[in-house]
Amino acid sequence: MAYVIYLIFYGFLLTAAIGLLASWIDRKVTARVQYRVGPPILQPLIDIVKLLGKETLVPRGASKIIFLTAPLVGLTSVMLVSTLLWVNNIDYGRGFLGDLIVVLYLLTIPSMSIIMGGFASGNPLASLGASREMKLVLSYELPFVLVAFVSVIKAGFSIRLGDILMSQAQNGVVVGSWSGILALIVAIMSVQAKLALVPFDIPEAETEIVSGPLIEYSGSGLAAYRLMKNMLLFTLPFFLMVLFMGGLRLDGVHFLYGVLKYIGLVALITVIRNTNPRVRIDQAVRFFWGPMTIIAILAVLLAFMGL
């Protein structure tokens, strides 16, 4: 029973609330950077309520079942990831052996659901976007898994999130060392690509292939995708905090530090998004397999040497 409460309250409601707020911060900061006023604070929530009330259209050539279930697959996996992260943050001993690997797998599924939905909708622009998303997944997964390995080495070769958090609480955070700094840089770049934000928004380039995989979605399907993206805007920075910055501790002044770490990461992601042009897909693949992978391997070697 306790797990159901964790899943519904922490995994869905709290994550969705913080995610919607983070998406508002993102839009507001973007507007201020462009000397605009920006939307009111409840705008992301209103958007989703509006989309839920609209008609859902299924295109004629689409495969109907996959088209309608793909958004739910992504939403469910984000819920599961955030539940796992919250459980480990609240009580270090609550996790199970290998939950880091489960989290890494589940974080790939939102991209998979976008690919499934894009190909199922039967639109040429959507399948173009879905194939770009697939190439992007192949490019950023390698450095992302390598930098997760840095935290594993620092925690004494343990693949439990609880052990990683515990060792950071005792010996200082991972980002305090040289290997940790390099790993965090690579991880932020990968998160930018995972969220499909501007230097790497190649799959859903608004001005080029309209909205990519989401072009045929309307009504509740689009609402589920938007909610999934907003929840990812909470879950991915939170995962980085768990891996490199000691997580969110709920006692006293540490809680304030945790909130500041989260807001700092979201602001950094937004600033990167607002100061960069979009790259081509071949440039993105070269960037992740070239410099990012080399830095990630360097970070792993430094972690082996204890730096």
Partner 1 sequence: MNLKLKALLKSPWVFHLSTGSCNNCDIEILDCLTPRFDIERFGILLAGSIKHADVLLITGSCNRQSVVRMKRLYEQVPKPCLVVAVGECALSRGMFIHSYNCPVPLDKIIPVDVYIPGCPPKPEAIIAGVVKLIGKVK
Pick the closer one to partner 1 by CB: 67 or 288. Answer: 67
Residue of 99, 140, 216, 262 interacting with partner 1 (CB under 8 A): 216
Cβ of residue 230: shortest distance to partner 1, in angstroms? Answer: 14
Selected range binding partner 1 among 42-50, 77-85, 104-112, 151-159, rule: CB under 8 A: 42-50
Q: Answer whether 173's CB lies under 8 Å from 244's CB.
A: yes
In whole angstroms, give the CA distance from residue 225 to residue 114.
Answer: 8
> 235: closest CA among 205, 260, 213, 266?
266
Least distance to partner 1, CB of residue 169, Å: 42
| Rg of the chain in Å (alpha carbons) | 19
In whole angstroms, give the CA distance from residue 184 to residue 106. Answer: 20
154 or 226, CB closer to partner 1?
226
CA distance 11 to 83: 4
Taking CB under 8 A as the binding criterion, the range among 9-17, 65-73, 212-220, 249-257 that sits at the site for partner 1 is 212-220
Report residue 98 as tokens: 């290998």
The C-alpha atoms of residue 44 and residue 46 are separated, in whole angstroms, by 6
The C-alpha atoms of residue 260 and residue 263 are separated, in whole angstroms, by 5
Q: State the greatest distance between any 2 C-alpha atoms of the chain, in Å, as a whole number.
A: 59
* 53 vs 306, beta carbon nearer partner 1: 53
Rule CB under 8 A: which of 189-208 touch partner 1? 206-207
Stretch that binds partner 1, among 15-23, 38-46, 95-103, 159-167 (CB under 8 A): 38-46
Residue 124 as a binder of partner 1 (CB under 8 A): the answer is no
Return the residue of 1, 4, 40, 93 that touches partner 1, per CB under 8 A: 40
CB of 116 to partner 1, least distance (A): 18
Amino acid of residue 17: A
Least separation in angstroms between residue 244's CB and partner 1 is 34
Output the CA torsion sign for 100, 101, 104, 109: negative
Query: Of 141 and 216, which CB lies nearer to partner 1 in the complex structure?
Result: 216
Q: Cβ contacts of residue 38 below 8 Å, gap of 6+?
A: 27, 28, 30, 31, 32
Q: For residue 113, what is the enclosing H or E element? A: helix 109-120
Binding mask 218-257 for partner 1 (x = CB under 8 A): xx--x-----------------------------------
* 171 versus 275: smaller Cβ distance to partner 1: 275
Residue pointed to by tokens 């501790």: 249
Tell me, residue by residue from 45 to 64, as one string, x for binding to partner 1 by CB under 8 A and - for no binding.
-xx-xx--xxxxx-------
Residue with smaller CB distance to partner 1, 91 or 206: 206
Interacting residues with partner 1 (CB under 8 A): 27, 31, 34-40, 43, 46-47, 49-50, 53-57, 206-207, 210-211, 214-219, 222
